[in-house]
Structures are given as C-alpha cells and as structure tokens.
Structure 1
Amino acid sequence: MSEPALLPLVASLVDAPLPVSGIAWLDAMRRDNREVFVAGGLPLARVEAWKYTALRGLARRPFVDGDVAALTRAVDPSALALPGVDGARLVFVNGAFRADLSALDALPAGLTLQPLSQALHADPDPLRFVLSRRHYEADEAFTQINAAHARDGAVLRVADGVKIDAPLHLVFLGAPAEGDLAWHLRNVIELGEGAALTLVEHHLASGEQAHLSTVVGDIELREGAHLHHTVLQQAASGASLIRRTGLRLHARAHATLHLAELGGALVRHDLRAELIGDGAQLETRGVFMPHGRQHVDTQLAIRHQALNTASSSTWRGVASDRARGVFRGAIVVAPGADGSDASLSNKNLLLSGSAEIDTKPELEIYADEVKAAHGATVGQLDERSLFYLRSRGIPLAEARALLTAAFCRTVLDDLPNAVLREHLSSLLIAQLPG
C-alpha cells in the first residue's frame, strides 16, 4: 500500500531545503526538529491546546519557503514609525533583516542589538543553550517548524546594571510577494542583573498578502532586571501568524507586558512565563479584537516556582461579525512556591450574534500560604449603561462604541508611555464596528 499523500502545507515544508549554517549543533537541531514535525504533523482538535483552533484550512495551502526578493521589497520607512518610540530599531521584511530600514547607529553602551544571522556568524557558542533545544510535544508543531527553518531573528542583550532609556523597536513586516510565503524568525532577549529595558514589538503589513509566519522568542530576565514589553499585532487581513514567547524571571525580576491583537486571519500566541526566582513579578495586560472572519487564539501559561512570587493578568476580548476569539489562562503554583500571589481576569464582549469567544481559566495550586484568584466572563454590553447614555442624547452606535472602547482601554491604563498609549487607544477605537 502506498503511503498517504502529505498535506500541502506539510509537503511544502518537507520539500523546502533546510538552512545550512556550517555549525554542527545548529544543523543537527534543525534536522531533528523537522523529523519530529514530519512524524507528528499538525496538531488536531484532540490536542487540548488546539481544541478551539482548527488548522484544516491552513493545512490545505502550500507555501514557498522564504522570500528571495525580501532585501529589495519596496517599503515606506515612515510606515514603520510608532508615536512615542524613538530608540534603536531592528527591521525584518518577510523574515529577512533589512539594514536599510533599521536604525542601529550609536547604540548605548551595554546594549547589543543585532540580527541572529550576524550573531551566529560572529560567535555561535553563547546561543547554543537556547537554540539547540528539541521540541517533542504534540502542541509544538509550529515551534518545530520554526526551529528547523528560521534563518534570522533578533538578538538583544542588556549588560548587568545597564538601564536603557529610549524604547527599542523590533519590527516584523509582511510584504506582498509573487505568491504565498512561509517565513520564520527566532528571537533571543536577555537582560542582565539589575538591567532595565523598554521594548516595543510590532507586527504589521505593507500591503495585503496571505503569508504564513512563525515567530519564536526566549526572554531571560536575570536577578533584579526590569522589562516593559509592548506588543502591537497588525498583520495583514489574510495572513497567518503563529507566535510562541517564553519568559524566565529570576529573583526579584519584574516584567510588564501590554499586548494588542488586532490583525491577521489566523493568529495564535502562546505566552509562557516561569517565575523561577524568589520575589519575581509578572504583569500581563492584553486585548484581542477579532472581526470579520478572523480567528485569534491566545494561550497564557504562568508557572510560579519560587517563594513570594506574584503575577497579575488582565485580558479583554471583543468579537464582532463572524469572528472567533480563544483565550486560555493557566496558572500553576508549583510545590515549594509558598507565598505566591496570582490573579487572572478575562472578560469578553460579543458584538454580534454570530461572533464567538471561548475562554478557559485554569488554576492549579501545590503550595501553602497562597493567594490566587481567576475568573472569566463572556457577554454583551450592559443594557442599563446603554440606556443611560442614550437618555443623554447619545446615538445608539456611538453609545456602543463608547462603552466598548472603555472596556478595552482598561488594559492600557498603566502603560507609562503616554504617547504610545494614546496611539494604541486610537487603534482600538478604529477596530470597532462602524
């Protein structure tokens, strides 16, 4: 009996040649991860982490690996700017580093910011621990793809005790091409002991396309480090964007994340945080606003592993038209993580009868003297509030927009960059129906 034909997506990835670096451990890792992916394939609905995100449509599409013309794609530099973000900038177009669009001159002392391809060429050994990992779990198919095929990405390091004042800007741009592309980026970020950094990560498009992109990042915060990380996702309306971000917080490290998921056709973000040092603190604030036929899936997993750690997560979802949102928020307080304080809230609004949001909060506690709370709701706008606004002469459509905007802006209230905060607020309002 002949072997069954591979799905077009899998076949196009299998047929694509792997990048060859000449670095033995890196090339072996790429081969191993692709072998695992080919053996396991894409996750099906029976894989719990992918229960609400079907991949049948994506699996039926073939993609061309990489963009041979990425370095010459026309891009308007002004489209890359964000209000309130004026530090160094690293830009990738369809997965390729663009030196002409980046701003890397006169980096502050103690800051290293460069494309992964250059870092590997100069000295690959410091990256071996992070990049040589094999991924075997059934829900890690896209991480396996990324590990096998990623040619570039961002390497960002802040030395011990160094505090970077101006926000750094990472830009991942999808540009129209002659066909549907698959491109992959691998980011490595490390803050040394007592270091501080503000980072803005921006996913956007210069025109309509339906590429598949995967972005995998590892963020390590050493003892006493502070990171403020803002993520704005505005992928093209036909694009598929799969991301996975891992954070590790050592003793007394503090990370604050603000995330806005606004674009894309199929969007998935796995955000996994480990609080491994005593007194580590994590705050996440996120909003996802699918419309049309968008599908946006956020998987948040926080693990408390040390004494007196704290995490606080506030997420909002708004779905309209025939869109679907998915949110899973899982908190684990591991044995020995006494004194942990964890809270998670996910509230969601449905603005049409055809929209859907699936939310699943999870809480596992294996330690003593713990404070923990979690909750999730899915509903519609409060009729009493609508009536109050309409009784003041505000039209129904405007009243609905005002209430929805206020509902979403909760996650931005503590964003310290006022200029960027107002810009993000305006984007949220523009995303609302009508």
Structure 2
Amino acid sequence: MTQPATLPLVESLLDAPLPASGIAWLDAARQESRDAFASTGLPDTRVEAWKYTALRGLAQRRFAHGDATASGRAVDPSLLALPGVEGARLVFVNGVFRADLSTLDALPDGLTLQPLSRVLKDDAEPLRFGWSRSATRAEAHGAADAFARINAASAADGMVLRVAARATIAAPVQLVFIGADGEGELAWHARNLIELGEGASLTLIEQHLGDGGQAQLATFVSDIHVGAGAKLHHVTLQNAASAANLIRHSHLRLQARSEATLHVVELGGALVRHDLQVELLGDGAKLHTRGVFMPHGRQHIDTQLAIRHQALNTASSSNWRGVANDRARGVFRGAIVVAPGADGSDASLSNKNLLLSAGAEIDTKPELEIYADEVQAAHGATVGQLDERSLFYLRSRGIPLAEARALLTAAFCRAMLDDLPNPDLREHLSGLLIAQLPA
C-alpha cells in the first residue's frame, strides 16, 4: 500500500482542522479516528473490497475543508421538489444545515427530526454508543473503511431522526444533500442516525444532488436501527454533479419481525461508492432491496451490498440492475452470509447488467456463504447486451433502432421500481432513468 504521506488527498484530509465540540468523549473519538486513518491511508486495489475501484486519480487531488459560506449560498429551489413527496424536509448544502430550505414546522406526533449539529450542542450523550460502534466497525476493516474513519473524525452535521414506538409517520420525510459550487474544490462530511422504535413505520426519501460543476469529495455514514415489528421504506436518489466524488457507508440493523424495503437509483457523480451493510438480527426480520445504477461517460459507480442473516426464519430478496454506456464502469458486489443458528433463512440475490457500448465495463461478484440448516438461498449475475431478437421485433414494427434500444433499456431499468408504492415518485424516477439513456 502506498505510504499515506505521499498522497495529496491524504495530506489535505489530515491537514483539515477537527471540529471542536467541547465534548470530551467526542473530541477523543474524532482524534482516534484521525490517527487510525493516518496509520492506514487509502485502500488500493490489493484490498479485496476495493479490487475494482482504483483511487489513483482521486488520491492526487487536494480538497479544501468545508464551506464557510454554505449557510448563505444560493440554491435553485426546484432541486428540492419531488412529485408525491410533501412532508418534513431536512436540507444540507455542502454539508451545512440550511434552516431556510428545510421544513420542520408541525412535525407529526412521534417524529423527532433534527440536524446533528443541534443535537451535539443540546445533548450529545445519546449519540455516544452509535458513534463508538461505527468507529469499531471501521477499525475492524482497516484501510477498506478509510473514508468511514475520515467521516468519524470530521463530520459535524447530518440528520438525527427518531420515530417513537408504534408511531406511524404517514408523509414521507425528505433528506437532501446538495453539493454547490464553492471557493475551490471542497471536502465535506455528513453523518446520519435513524432509529425506528418498536412497531413504528416511516418512509424516508434521501437525495444526493448537485448544483454546480466543481469537483467535490463528500463522505456519508448512516446508522439505521429498525426496532421489533417496525417498517422502513428507504428510497435513495443519487444524482450528484458530474464531477462529484461521493463515498457512502450505510449500516442497517433489523430486529425481530421488522421489515426494511430499499429502492436505490444511482445516476450522477464522477466516482461514487456505496457500502451497504445489513444485519438481520431478530427472528423473522425481512429485507427487500431494489437498485439501478447507470454510469455513462467516464463515470465509475460501485455498490457493495453485504447482508448477514443472524436469526431464525429471516428473509432477504435483492434485485439490482446496471446499465453502462460510453467508457463508464459499474461495480456490484452482493454478498449474503447465513450465520450459524440462522436456521430457516430465505435469501435471494440477482444482478443483471447491460453494456450499451464496446468501451463500457461492469464487474459483478455475487457471494453466498451458508452456515445454518434448512436454508433456501439463490444468487446469480449476468452481463450482456440487449437481446437482438427483441430489437428485431421492434424494428420490424417500424420503430427506429435508437428508439428500440431506448425502449428495451428503459423497461429493463424500470422493473426495479414496479413495487414502489408512490405512483408520482415512481414516474419521476422512471423519467430520470430514461433521461440518462443515450440519445
């Protein structure tokens, strides 16, 4: 591994001042995370989890820390509008909470929604265990979780969302991160804590958007706990600026009889990576993930999905599709582990991919490990091109080749959104997928 001191990115991240909280345990945790990053540096392709995502180009860049004028930076309001989504909203610009763009009035009973910066000032102690837990996870993975360490050291804002036991939040909650042009190329970091109490229900819409063309580096860590019998529907739309670099870590913990449904659409950014780790900890917990990634140009989009069944009669179904065009590269790793004692688990994973040009590449790696009895499990992956027979059929009906290709590709992607219950949001996301297709 390259020595950290020789890399401009590492130097710029280590030179950034740590946020001063005045909270002893938090300041100590930040310093420990910074020191751990300094000792390991960035992962390279010899680290198995980063085998298909090289950081050579990013490692040669320097980023200024934070945006001192983010609180007053102009943002196009149309970025925030989502059809079929009207409810509480929390907005961050270059990692800084924007009260003027957020909607936090008259929150429904049972919902607590605050920016992390405010919680750290008012009562940080309840966050202590979660902060330490994520730092411990990063420590266990060494250089592979280098960006999670940087986030633990440098994140000063983000979202803290709690839903009380047995509370049903009818309107979706919207979480928006906007990368806006600043003074030079910026690095910023955000951290989210989401907790659903026993029997609670919530729909969360998470957006990562761009309002400018500058290269930025943004890291995100989300710690999500779904209590016994609770239900979470989490929709993520990543449509960052074309030069943005986004590194995200999400960790979900599902308790007994809980259910989480995730829809993920990855469209924007230059270098995008999402490490999504899910633990089914309680008997009867269920997970459903549906995702689409569509890199084009010179984009690189990497999704690392790791699901661990740790209790009786748990179930997971994952269906992801990728489409790459031009000289873009997509990466998908889907790993399922059925741990000892997780008898009766039912797990399935599928990843199907299309290459629309000779220069495009998609690397897919399904993994399955079973250490329990009476388990149903299946996984598979394909990489190919559009079916020539289907193209011939459409062309024989008078449809031009380009339009026929677009129709088939759109249908291939939209299938991942068929079970999205909000019809207006479903149509909006489908339109974004179609707009991403080559003309």
The two structures have a TM-score, normalised by structure 1, of 0.99
Q: Is the 8 A contact 1:329 1:362 kept in 2?
A: yes
Which of these residues, 385, 390, 393, is aligned with residue 380 of structure 1?
Answer: 385
Identify the residue that residue 113 of structure 2 maps to in structure 1.
113
Secondary structure (helix, strand or coil) at the match of 1:298 reads: strand
Identify the residue that residue 81 of structure 1 maps to in structure 2.
81
Identify the residue that residue 168 of structure 1 maps to in structure 2.
173
Offset of 1:120 from its aligned partner?
1.4
Which of these residues, 377, 389, 393, is aligned with residue 394 of structure 2?
Answer: 389
Identify the residue that residue 225 of structure 2 maps to in structure 1.
220
Q: Is the 8 A contact 2:395 2:401 kept in 1?
A: yes
Q: Is the 8 A contact 2:233 2:262 kept in 1?
A: yes
Q: Is the 8 A contact 2:95 2:190 kept in 1?
A: yes
* Match status 1:201 vs 2:241: no
* Residues paired across the two proteins, number: 432
What is the identity, as a one-letter code, of the residue corresponding to 1:159?
Answer: A
Q: Is the 8 A contact 1:25 1:132 kept in 2?
A: no
Identify the residue that residue 63 of structure 1 maps to in structure 2.
63
Which of these residues, 318, 325, 343, is aligned with residue 330 of structure 2?
Answer: 325
Deviations 1:174-229 (A, max 9, x none): 00012000000000000000000011000001121210000110000000000000
Identify the residue that residue 184 of structure 1 maps to in structure 2.
189
What is the identity, as a one-letter code, of the residue corresponding to 2:222?
Answer: G
Deviations 1:295-328 (A, max 9, x none): 0000000000000000000000000000000000
Secondary structure (helix, strand or coil) at the match of 2:144 reads: coil
Identify the residue that residue 310 of structure 2 maps to in structure 1.
305
* Match status 1:427 vs 2:428: no
Offset of 1:76 from its aligned partner?
2.0
Which of these residues, 147, 152, 160, is aligned with residue 155 of structure 1?
Answer: 160
Deviations 1:344-400 (A, max 9, x none): 000000000000000000000000000000000000000000000000000000000
Identify the residue that residue 292 of structure 2 maps to in structure 1.
287
- Partners of 1:376 and 1:114 lie apart in 2 by 40
Which of these residues, 399, 403, 408, is aligned with residue 404 of structure 2?
Answer: 399
Secondary structure (helix, strand or coil) at the match of 2:14 reads: helix
Secondary structure (helix, strand or coil) at the match of 1:106 reads: coil
Give the 3 Å change call, closer, same or farther, for CA 81–4 of structure 1 in structure 2. Answer: closer
Offset of 1:66 from its aligned partner?
0.5
Q: Is the 8 A contact 2:67 2:183 kept in 1?
A: no
Q: Give percent identity, aligned residues only.
A: 75
Identify the residue that residue 15 of structure 2 maps to in structure 1.
15
- Partners of 1:286 and 1:42 lie apart in 2 by 27
What is the identity, as a one-letter code, of the residue corresponding to 2:346?
Answer: D
Deviations 1:28-66 (A, max 9, x none): 110001101010000011100000000010000000010
Offset of 1:132 from its aligned partner?
2.3
Stretches of structure 2 that go unaligned for 5 or more consecutive residues are: none
* Match status 1:334 vs 2:339: yes
- Partners of 2:292 and 2:16 lie apart in 1 by 36
The two structures have a TM-score, normalised by structure 2, of 0.98
* Match status 1:235 vs 2:255: no
Q: Is the 8 A contact 1:193 1:225 kept in 2?
A: yes
Secondary structure (helix, strand or coil) at the match of 1:139 reads: helix
Which of these residues, 233, 251, 255, is aligned with residue 256 of structure 2?
Answer: 251
Select between 206-215 and 355-364 the one with higher mean Cα deviation. Answer: 206-215
* Match status 1:143 vs 2:148: yes
Offset of 1:78 from its aligned partner?
2.6
- Partners of 1:152 and 1:362 lie apart in 2 by 35
What is the identity, as a one-letter code, of the residue corresponding to 2:159?
Answer: A
What is the identity, as a one-letter code, of the residue corresponding to 1:229?
Answer: H
Give the 3 Å change call, closer, same or farther, for CA 337–5 of structure 1 in structure 2. Answer: closer
Q: Is the 8 A contact 1:218 1:245 kept in 2?
A: yes
1:19-30 equivalence runs, <5 A: 19-30=19-30
- Partners of 1:33 and 1:368 lie apart in 2 by 39
- Partners of 1:119 and 1:111 lie apart in 2 by 15
What is the identity, as a one-letter code, of the residue corresponding to 1:329?
Answer: G
Secondary structure (helix, strand or coil) at the match of 1:140 reads: helix
Offset of 1:98 from its aligned partner?
0.3
